[in-house]
Chains A and B, each alone.
Chain A
Amino acid sequence: MSDPVKPVLDTVVTSGAVHFYISQSDKGELVMGGDLDFCNSYSQRGNLPVIEHVVSACLALFPSFGRLKVMRTWGGVCDMTMDGSPIIGMLPVKGLTMTGGWCYGGFKATPASGWLHAYTIARGEPHPKNAAFTLERFARGQTIDEKGVGPVPWAH
């Protein structure tokens, strides 16, 4: 989160190439986010190497933001799956469904995923769009590893 400035950015910008996103709040601060700690953590306090990476990515995309100051930082817990994709659908327990394991994509995908989860609950079967996002896909060897980087959560 930067110090507040006059309007400079009227949209959300996200980059999968450098794992970075940025928008400007109503108060004028630039809100930035980025990568994971890459190790299991419940500390919820962030980590300096990641903060440095986020700021570097910001300046690669927006060199003009270089004079701003970082006012505060925070970190949360990311529910990473082994293939980097979420789990949306029926569970082995009858009547129990879930949507979770959104890694760091949840904020952007929540509206569509909520619609698909509601469809799954109402029909008792998944929508074609989330049919592959099962819990069983790991045991069946049908993981959804978009980047093909292997079964470790810190690679996604």
Chain B
Amino acid sequence: MLLIPCPWCGPRAQVEFTYGGDATVKRPAPDAPIAAWVEFVYMRDNPAGPHDELWQHSAGCRQWFRVRRDTRTHEIQGSERPDAALPGDAP
């Protein structure tokens, strides 16, 4: 069971949250080529190590936020609102 720190509610049990996947993908422009849309919809990195991902506090405040979690150890290295930087982010 992960103990996930919601930026608004504090640490809560994993069962209150819904996973949202890779937080680094960006939606292409509407007129982007098909290849960019295939990349956006289907292609993901799956790193063994720190992974920036989206979670929703679906059984709590219902906010979406970013979590940096190590996929090898499940250590959570930080969590932030989607518009704020996580520690170690490029400025």
A and B co-occur in one complex: yes
A residues touching B (Cβ–Cβ < 8 Å)? 38-43, 47-49, 82, 138-139, 151-152, 154
Number of B interface residues in the complex (CB < 8 A): 21
From residue 9 to 50 of chain B, which have CB atoms closer than 8 A to chain A? 14-15, 19, 21, 34-35, 38, 41-42, 44, 46, 48
B66 interfacial by beta-carbon distance below 8 Å:
no
Interface positions of B (Cβ within 8 A of A): 1-2, 14-15, 19, 21, 34-35, 38, 41-42, 44, 46, 48, 51, 53, 69, 71-74
Number of A-B residue pairs at CB separation under 8 A: 39
Measured CA separation A82–B21 after assembly (Å): 12
Interface pair A40/B38, CB less than 8 Å apart: no
Residues of B within 8 A of A40 (CB): 46, 51, 53, 71
Q: Given A40-B51, A40-B53, A47-B1 in contact, is the A154-B21 Cβ separation under 8 Å? A: yes
Contact B1 A49 (CB under 8 A): yes
The A interface is mostly helix, strand or loop, or mixed, namely: loop
CA distance A154 to B44 in the complex (A): 13
Instruction: Say yes or no: A39 contacts B1, CB within 8 Å.
Output: no
Collect the chain A residues with CB atoms within 8 Å of residue B42's CB: 82, 138-139, 151
User: Can you list the 4 inter-chain pairs with the closest CB atoms, starting with the nearest?
Assistant: A138-B42, A48-B1, A39-B19, A42-B48
> Which of chain A's residues have a CB closer than 8 A to the CB of B53?
39-40
Q: Could you say which residues of chain A place their CB within 8 Å of the CB of B2?
A: 47
The residues of B that contact A154 with a CB separation of less than 8 Å are: 19, 21
Q: Is there contact, CB below 8 Å, between A49 and B38?
A: no
**In the complex, what residues of B have CB within 8 A of residue A42's CB?**
48, 71-72
Residues from chain A with a CB closer than 8 A to the CB of B35 are: 139
Nearest opposing residue in chain B for A51, CB measure: B1
Determine which of B15, B48, B73, B74 lies in contact with A49 in the assembled complex, contact meaning CB atoms within 8 Å.
B15
Give the residue among A41, A82, A138 with the most B Cβ atoms within 10 A: A41
Evaluate contact between B38 and A43: CB separation under 8 angstroms.
no
